[in-house]
Amino acid sequence: MKKFFGTKKDDLIILDGEETKHLAVLRCVEGEQVVCFCGDKFEYDCKILRITKKDTTCQIVEQRECKKNPTKHITLFQGLPKLDKLELITQKITELGITELVPFESDYTIAKTNLNKMDRLNRISQEACKQCGRSIPLKIAEPVKFKKVLEMIENYDLVLFANETNRSITDISFDKHQKIAIIIGSEGGFSPSEIEFLKDTTQIGLGERILRTETASIVLCGIVSYLTKN
């Protein structure tokens, strides 16, 4: 069935203007059955009661736990790339079951922070959720400084740092780790001092070829998601 994001109010789900436009594009009509997500762990089978230009009202018919949500907490700490690349990363890691995205500025970061784009990134994550079937969107943090990243990763069981090393990710056991951090640099990479600060992380390589930052993020998130059965 067609999927939409809305706000739950008692036994109703209200779709906002943007979702109502999407509903119109898909030629949905009153009385039709759809699936709604509300950002919680459930998915809702609904019947469309009323469609207006402002919003759409849906009646909840059945509620069940969504089986496609992540089972582990995996956070991607992404060196801030250009916006189009960040949008691509947001879309793909949502589909791959990553829990959280934390963009950060480092010494060699080229792109500039643009908080005006946060709504767009959240919308991209929601659209990706509809594609892959998860009901809880990717949590997207406002960009932080590299120093803050060092503080945040102390709260993780395992910290993977994609660096130019021969160590393979297949050598790592993920069984006991529930909270995993992945660190990927921006287009400019890391400065020597930043690499030194990350010396106690689990450093891994991604093969002989040098990957673009967006490629490295998507590849590594996909591998970790697969190995953790996330």
pLDDT, position 166: 75
Q: Do 53 and 139 lie in a common domain?
A: no
Q: Within 10 A of 57 (CB to CB), how many other CB atoms are there? A: 18
Residue-by-residue pLDDT tens, the chain, 230 positions: 899 999 999 999 999 999 999 999 999 999 999 999 999 999 999 999 999 989 999 999 999 999 999 999 999 999 999 889 999 999 999 999 999 999 999 998 887 767 678 889 999 999 999 999 999 999 999 999 999 999 999 999 999 999 877 788 888 888 889 999 999 999 888 999 999 999 999 999 888 888 999 999 999 999 999 999 98
Both 143 and 30 in a single domain? no
pLDDT of residue 67: 95
pTM for this one?
A: 0.93
- Write the CB contacts of 150 (distance below 8 Å, at least 6 apart in sequence): 197
Alpha carbons 53 and 18: distance in angstroms, whole number: 10
Assess whether 38 and 122 both reside in one domain.
no
Domain of residue 56, residue span: 3-65
Cβ atoms of 215 and 207 within 8 Å: the answer is no
The C-alpha atoms of residue 23 and residue 116 are separated, in whole angstroms, by 26
Q: Which residues, in sequence order, are CB contacts of 147 under 8 Å at separation 6+?
A: none
Same domain assignment for residues 144 and 100: yes
The count of domains in the chain is 2
Task: Indicate whether 52 and 79 sit together in one domain.
Answer: no
Task: Look at the alpha carbons of 194, 197, 199, 202 in this order and tell me if their dihedral is positive or negative.
Answer: negative
**Residues 169, 98: one domain?**
yes
Q: Note whether 142 and 198 are same-domain residues.
A: yes
